[in-house]
Structure 1
């Protein structure tokens, strides 16, 4: 299948039109027209090769909403015209203990990322993966997600990454009525953590360096804002949280947050991939507190999250852009100038593109 999108040809190059081919449908494949694609901070990191493993040309995009255009002969769950989503992964070994438990994101052999990866399990010959900044996508049925009726297609795309990245630790660590949840950072991930935790019935506090985001935090569903630079307020909040979701996507100091945890409580890192400022073990040892990390969820949990968001009317706050605005959007994303997630209207792609 010939298709087109926008790709980076090098770490220093802007995204530009790019033509390429998707694989022909295998029996268990679903083909879709991409309708909307979210813009994740990971896309910016990958395009700029901040983590050192980017391969070019690179077509980003792992928050994808589409319409099914064709199905393979063995597909049973989807038909032409269905609305489906694709998140951060498009395959896994399907055989290891983690995959059998529905934890494909923790596949022992490594899941296949939606872009900047190599299909290793079910593709012959081995092929590169290209993401959702494109007109069409082909994915195996098991990694397509059904978009529930009533979920706004134009806003749903960020749920496939920002949504599940925060939903999964909230579920894993039992956020719900009676639980006290702190959220550090109020960007794309943080605003979803607030909305989801509030929808689950938790008492939610946004933890920020200043009071500037207090109105936004309350509007998103938080019960209050705690200023982390206010020593007296932080001391008064000691032992006050069962769970803290840290969404900050850069190296930072987590030590101020550890005394906020109650006994046997957890701070979960979901934003920063890489080094942190050195943590002190004192509050960990004295309070039997924990620092944990969490990636996305598995396919079943992601579907559960979509169903929950449809039921509770939880959607990200988004700014719609055209495909040709992506480089400007990256610049704005780099300086945190977005509330709270960009979504590309893929109808803005031209009818044809040059290679």
Structure 2
């Protein structure tokens, strides 16, 4: 079936209205009208052809909130009218060891997980199309229940990526009361890291290169704010952190932060820089049994856990709503970090 969308026909081309094909819902499928779609940095990199292997036309968007319009005959968990979410994945092999342990993001099947956009599509379609569209059809397994209040739906959309990307490492490294946690970067990911670490009961220290962001970080829930360019402020925290989450997607010196870890502390990376980080000092890691790790989004069960946790505590992303036609301007502003902290598209503006 055909639906309206907004996408790029080739790399570097402005996004524009296009018509795309969606498969007819199968027995296990859920069809939904999209209400809101968050704007992720991955959308920009994909639409503008800055990563390899991009298929065109490209319709980005993997932070989707919508209303169910139809369900397949075998769907048990959702019904028409439900408010649901779709995140970064719409399929995985479901048989490999990670999938069997609710870690679909690490699927070891032949093609890994299927991305919500720019992935291998079902039904003979060339590639998956994301949330910059009126409608989408997704297998029930990859649909998430949204329990936020109606006025929070738009601000809940980025939880499907920014929320789970920060929640998953915080949970895996068992962050909670009595622990000192650092969050590097106060952007789309970092601001959610601060909110979630605070809600989990940790003592939260936000790291920023901009002194002007201090008050904003405190308002988000940070207990302290450190300007990482200030050597005295950094030295005052040496050897004191259980865990530091690095959300910055630009190359930088990791040694400055591994020095701040306690024995057995971990620095975990979720931002992927265009150029590699400088090689870290092995000695700093060895003399303290410290580690540098990484984390990729989260599984479906873990994402539902995060959404329920946030709904119970009225946690949402700080957003700026935009119309669909303003997406290229939003991308340009993203590159300048000119947003607090996530753009969300009102899909009613896609006409």
TM interval, short-chain normalised: over 0.9
1:282-293 map, 5 Å? 282-293=283-294
CA contact (8 A) 2:85 2:160 kept: yes
Report the secondary structure of 2:259's partner residue: helix
Deviation at 1:312, TM superposition (A): 1.2
**In 1, Cα distance between the equivalents of 2:123 and 2:44?**
30
Cα distance per residue 1:155-207 (max 9 Å; x no partner):
11000000000000000111111111100000000000000010111100011
Determine whether 1:314 maps to 2:328: no
1:1-355 map, 5 Å? 1-109=1-109, 110-119=112-121, 123-125=122-124, 127-150=126-149, 152-273=152-273, 275-350=276-351
Question: TM-score when scaled to structure 2?
Answer: 0.97
**In 2, Cα distance between the equivalents of 1:124 and 1:328?**
34
* Contiguous gaps of at least 5 residues in structure 1: 351-355
Cα separation, partners in 2 of 1:73 and 1:85, compared to 1, 3 Å: same
Report the secondary structure of 2:130's partner residue: coil
**In 2, Cα distance between the equivalents of 1:344 and 1:310?**
21
Cα distance per residue 1:50-72 (max 9 Å; x no partner):
22121111000000000000011
Q: How many residues align?
A: 347
Deviation at 1:255, TM superposition (A): 1.8
**In 2, Cα distance between the equivalents of 1:227 and 1:287?**
24
Report the secondary structure of 1:320's partner residue: strand
Deviation at 1:127, TM superposition (A): 3.8
Deviation at 1:253, TM superposition (A): 2.1
Report the secondary structure of 1:242's partner residue: strand
CA contact (8 A) 2:4 2:133 kept: yes
Following superposition, which runs of at least 4 residues in structure 1 exceed 6 angstroms of deviation? none
**In 2, Cα distance between the equivalents of 1:325 and 1:229?**
35
Shifted more, 267-276 versus 29-38: the winner is 267-276
Cα distance per residue 1:246-267 (max 9 Å; x no partner):
0011222222111011111111
**In 2, Cα distance between the equivalents of 1:336 and 1:8?**
22
Cα distance per residue 1:105-143 (max 9 Å; x no partner):
111120000001113xxx343641000000000000000
Deviation at 1:144, TM superposition (A): 0.1
**In 2, Cα distance between the equivalents of 1:57 and 1:143?**
23
**In 1, Cα distance between the equivalents of 2:106 and 2:306?**
18
What residue is the counterpart of 1:353 in the other structure? Answer: none
Deviation at 1:228, TM superposition (A): 1.4
CA contact (8 A) 2:55 2:127 kept: no
For the aligned residue pairs, the C-alpha RMSD in angstroms reads 1.1
CA contact (8 A) 2:12 2:49 kept: no
Deviation at 1:233, TM superposition (A): 1.9
Cα separation, partners in 2 of 1:98 and 1:61, compared to 1, 3 Å: same
Question: TM-score when scaled to structure 1?
Answer: 0.96
* Contiguous gaps of at least 5 residues in structure 2: none
